[in-house]
Amino acid sequence: MNDLARRVVTRSKGRVVGHFYSHKNGKHLQWESQLERDCMRVLDILPDVEGFSEQPFALPYDFNGVEKTYYPDLLVTKAEAETVIEVKPYAKSIIPEAVERFRHIECALHELGVSFEVWTEKEIRREPRWSNVILLMATCRRPRDMLSYDDLKAIFASEASLTVGELSLRLKSREARGQALSFVSAGFLGVDLELPIKQDSQVWLLDRGAGL
């Protein structure tokens, strides 16, 4: 699968709408729809996602006896697992022909040891996770002053978790709340993205401090 992922696939001419800077990947990625861009935003924040790439390879597959070629929207890498995500508006994802095509694509990817998921706006922009993603994205570029990972570990040495408000008080900076959330967006602190992030939201230390 890695050999396929290294191939360069040219994006469709005239369809590139914009670029998204991924802090997780450390580079700009191309998106061809606002829904694809928003999917990248979510992936950039999800703590279990290690990285992702757009249109990573060309996949030949059989569709009712006819050989077709599929260009995945996104290849997502997690710990010991890879998943292809097809980004599609919900109305188009439930068309019978699309559903049948996805079934054949899923079978072809399964042979490569890669899972397959279709993400629509119902998954990408579901609340409250979507609002949390937008909030955390706004903290990605915030300076984290001189706080080291060892300092962060010291703060949590006697606490399994702290609230956002409690951590903000311990950071003692002018933009303490933004700084606290920046550690979440950077993947060093965890938070429940399925609940609205507030001052009383619990955050905890993740084992990802080497790059801080």
The architecture that CATH gives domain 129-211 is: Orthogonal Bundle (1.10)
Per the model's pLDDT, the better-predicted residue between 53 and 10 turns out to be: 53
- Do 108 and 101 meet the contact criterion of CB atoms below 8 Å apart? no
The CB-side HSE value for 32 (13 A sphere, CA atoms) comes to 17
Per the model's pLDDT, the better-predicted residue between 143 and 54 turns out to be: 54
- Do 9 and 58 meet the contact criterion of CB atoms below 8 Å apart? yes
Identity of residue 141: R
- Do 135 and 181 meet the contact criterion of CB atoms below 8 Å apart? yes
The phi and psi torsions of 154 (rounded to 5 degrees) equal -65, -40
Domain boundaries, the chain: 2-124, 129-211
Provide the 8-state DSSP code for 12. P
Local confidence band at 199 (pLDDT 50, 70, 90 cut-offs):
very high
pLDDT at 11: 54
Longest dimension (CA), the chain: 65
CATH topology of domain 2-124: Trna Endonuclease; Chain: A, domain 1 (3.40.1350)
- Tens digit of each residue's pLDDT (9 = 90 or more) over 35-85: 999 999 999 999 999 999 999 999 999 999 999 999 999 999 999 899 999
pLDDT at 116: 99
Residue showing tokens 């290294």: 6
